[in-house]
Structure 1
């Protein structure tokens, strides 16, 4: 009886009813009852209940979510002096306007007094100040941050440092982060030049703040204010990446790809880069394109390379624009399309990519390209000794951009660029000297220039130089040397080189046959979409030339090659079907 009377007495106390309401709000199946009780207390003027009602509306706990009502109740509680409500209102006013499906905005037509819009960083600063002045450390950190980085009308760097320091002394990691940010935004000094700011950033990172961890990773990677240390950079990037910080995921993936303390982890790198790229990081997307283009991804694919490059290019990543243009030139992962190729390479040039202007000119050398000039006169720069301009001028003369082609002059300028070390010029000079429309065929010099470009790893040059070595054109036959060049081009993702490696290892050349190696390279080329590789892979699997026969897989690869218009593949499909039918009949 005494316990029952005590319970009834407590139930009549507003504080007890508030505790009861909060308890019900957190119970499954009782949240609506708890919200109803809180609403009664809030309407009666209890500030703590008003704050909880606001949170319930914003979070959709015990009531359908309503940012309008959440804002109204949070503003009412903050106006009446509730510290947490003032801080929460400041955070709300820094976020994007709440929206819902089928409605432009859930904001009320008339905002509460003192709020001009949403977001409203000026009003947010006012409410953060209210909570900060009442001693809430998180609000002090936020207030300091807004004084350091907010609109000009509220900025006060000296006060920003003071409030952030006050929050930091209270043990708030956000205060330490604010101190570091106040330095970076107000001093105009180089990052990491203030030891106190670095110390504050370190404390914030050690306190678990992912933004601070990412920034500390940057300092260690670049050597700003601390010793350059890639291992430490990777550690802090990993901490921030695990908490969802997109740029940290991108930098961590990049470091793993480059190698930390000499060890590369390509698989983990690809995982983190994918997370960052899917979240919209253009640098990560470009790196993923590189991985697939170079054959370093777990399952390299030219189509994937094009997809990632396009994702980065559409966000104006200059190098990705250029690389996507190159894929369109080569027809790797996308249909060959010189119009799109020039569009993307021009975009890269406009974005400031130095190599793009060279590649832009190179696109005009491809047979069938339209003579629509890049719109630049290269004569003056070329005559002044600029080798890239000499290369571009040679291309313009070769294609007859804006005038009749002058191919002998083109060869002269191309050789100037080649002798100055422009690798693309060495390659194209070799092509010209093979007699490709220049009227100056010289296979010996052609081979020399092509092999010089191949020494720099240019895949196109490797392919042509390898063929010259195979044929003994312009010099002695050298099948071992051709094999080495095909390996370089294959590592760069060129499926034609993969097919050639399979053919060479298959026999009939001046190297020891190795059918397992042949099968491996035919499979690589087939997976990359090369029709001849698909045909040969089907033959190897259908006839068991490098292991047990697998007619099911053979038929699949023949079908893929036939779908690309390779008639021999359809013949192989028919032959395989005939053999199987004959075997069944017997």
Structure 2
């Protein structure tokens, strides 16, 4: 007999049957602590209904600490005695992560910390089928779900459809949803699609949040009906409020983009955050993008990195690539090429072609530490893609062969794959043109090189514009045409190419087949020097020192000459020595050399 019971309770506790009856009466009146004590008496005596009720108390945490394993044990005792409700509850427990072995015997502590995250389909279907065949509507929907969505050895879509249809006809909202989804998957006519959507709508009308999510998809994608983004947004909202992770992500996107609803970036981000925190990798990646892009506030790369990491760790390849780029550039994180390589590798192994190319470029740069980063077989990925006919793969594989990334350098094979890729990839047109010009892997052919470079230049590829302009200056592969070269250099300069700016300064400075214009020349030299071009800094310094445009200004010349000297242009020392000899006061008046110039980037690098 349980201590501390009321008089009527103590009298009832003398008989398991009376204890059960009294416990049910107390439960109905909300006296759960007293009811639990009497259910325990009856359950320990083996009464199936009492075992089931005790399991519910443990499952719901009524008057006792919630304990799913203990609930499962009591449900099992009731289920083994043939109680249909207990069989149904036990099936659901196994479906949502309670392994069978944890409830099959004694010995586990009531307070044991046990992982219950793995679905036990085999344990679930055993009890679901027993309860379903005994007429439990809930068990029938569970059984249908397992047959439709379980592992291959349990998969039986025809039987699942029969059970779902049976429960739908009995008025089960979950049955309507499951039946509608099966009908939708195999619908081949408009009428069949409409019938499927009608079933899903019945589930939504009954308040099933997941049904609202699917209706959102129906209205967004125009499945069997005309598209209606306003209705899609409303159904996604209802799904989101109901806790459907996918619905939260969809509703967040609709709010961000103003699709079918007034745009609200703050609320949209809130819903995306909720979906991300619930485990939606795509939503986490979207939140990362929001912080990386910025908007009314500057980008927050540290916050972006946190969300990209969450998404990447959940398997999102795009987020892994983005996180790798943050580590490569040091935006929001400490710059770490090896950590960048790690995330590029994850994305690349998931088939992200851009990440594969980024990883190959990183490895080719030599920035990673061989002790920390084992080079993955990027060349094998590219070779497989190339062999399958993928032109981007052919280009990347050609570059690997040309640069010796992961494979011994092989110019002949590189030229073969780059030529194949050049039929559709502008980067490959430039690369193949260079190889023809240099005679790498193929006989030197400047005429053909000019043709390939022209194709790439016509699309606006900057390095092709520069190299083709240089060929027009010196007449390689065709006639000399300095005016054509000027136009090509100007297009490259508009793209920020400092070498093209320097070349324009040289063209306008005299000695070429275009009119000399030193005002234009010094302007181009200045623009290139400000971007860190060493020879442009030398020429700008000389123009200023020698007064080639306006009066001589050695004071203004000195910092540019010092910049050129610091960048390795030894000729600048001659001008600086001359200034020191003839105008020593100029050095005393001169500020330190510019230190904000960008690193010089030569053509083709």
Bin for the TM-score computed over the shorter chain: 0.5 to 0.7
Hey, what's the Cα distance between the residues in 2 that align with 1:394 and 1:323? 30
Q: Which runs of 5+ in 1 are unaligned?
A: 100-104, 112-116, 452-460, 478-566, 569-586
Give the match for residue 122 of structure 2.
Answer: 122
Q: Does 1:97 align with 2:135?
A: no
* Residues 67 and 106, structure 1, Cα contact 8 Å, conserved in 2: no
By how many angstroms is 1:359 displaced?
A: 4.6
Q: CA RMSD in A?
A: 5.0
Give the match for residue 19 of structure 1.
Answer: 24
Hey, what's the Cα distance between the residues in 2 that align with 1:281 and 1:417? 44
Give the match for residue 180 of structure 1.
Answer: 180
Q: Does 1:390 align with 2:428?
A: yes
Give the match for residue 139 of structure 1.
Answer: 139
Hey, what's the Cα distance between the residues in 2 that align with 1:323 and 1:396? 31
CA 1:332–1:360 in 2, change beyond 3 Å: closer, same or farther? same
| SS at 1:386 equivalent | coil
Give the match for residue 161 of structure 1.
Answer: 161
TM-score for the superposition, normalised by structure 1: 0.61
> How many residues are matched?
440
By how many angstroms is 1:60 displaced?
A: 3.9
* Residues 364 and 395, structure 1, Cα contact 8 Å, conserved in 2: no
Give the match for residue 448 of structure 1.
Answer: 491
Give the match for residue 37 of structure 1.
Answer: 38
* Residues 221 and 230, structure 1, Cα contact 8 Å, conserved in 2: yes
Give the match for residue 405 of structure 2.
Answer: 373
User: Where does 1:2-401 land on structure 2 (aligned, <5 Å)?
Assistant: 16-23=21-28, 26-27=30-31, 31=33, 33-97=34-98, 107-108=103-104, 119-183=119-183, 187=186, 194-261=193-260, 263-296=262-295, 300-341=299-340, 344-345=343-344, 347-356=346-355, 359=358, 373=405, 378-384=414-420, 385-387=423-425, 390=428, 393=431
Hey, what's the Cα distance between the residues in 2 that align with 1:258 and 1:395? 43
By how many angstroms is 1:223 displaced?
A: 2.4
Q: Deviations over 1:145-184 (max 9, x none)?
A: 2333334555443432232222222321101012024336
Q: Deviations over 1:333-359 (max 9, x none)?
A: 234444544554455444333444555
| SS at 1:71 equivalent | helix
User: Where does 1:415-426 land on structure 2 (aligned, <5 Å)?
Assistant: 415=453, 418-419=456-457, 421=459, 426=461
By how many angstroms is 1:251 displaced?
A: 2.0
Give the match for residue 376 of structure 2.
Answer: none
TM-score for the superposition, normalised by structure 2: 0.59
* Residues 69 and 103, structure 2, Cα contact 8 Å, conserved in 1: yes
| SS at 1:125 equivalent | helix
Hey, what's the Cα distance between the residues in 1 that align with 2:52 and 2:506? 84
* Residues 19 and 39, structure 2, Cα contact 8 Å, conserved in 1: no
* Residues 272 and 287, structure 2, Cα contact 8 Å, conserved in 1: yes
Hey, what's the Cα distance between the residues in 2 that align with 1:374 and 1:308? 32
Hey, what's the Cα distance between the residues in 1 that align with 2:176 and 2:416? 56
By how many angstroms is 1:201 displaced?
A: 1.3
| SS at 2:332 equivalent | coil
| SS at 1:61 equivalent | coil
Hey, what's the Cα distance between the residues in 2 that align with 1:414 and 1:108? 73
CA 1:244–1:379 in 2, change beyond 3 Å: closer, same or farther? farther
Give the match for residue 590 of structure 2.
Answer: none
| SS at 1:77 equivalent | helix
By how many angstroms is 1:472 displaced?
A: 9.8
CA 1:145–1:98 in 2, change beyond 3 Å: closer, same or farther? closer
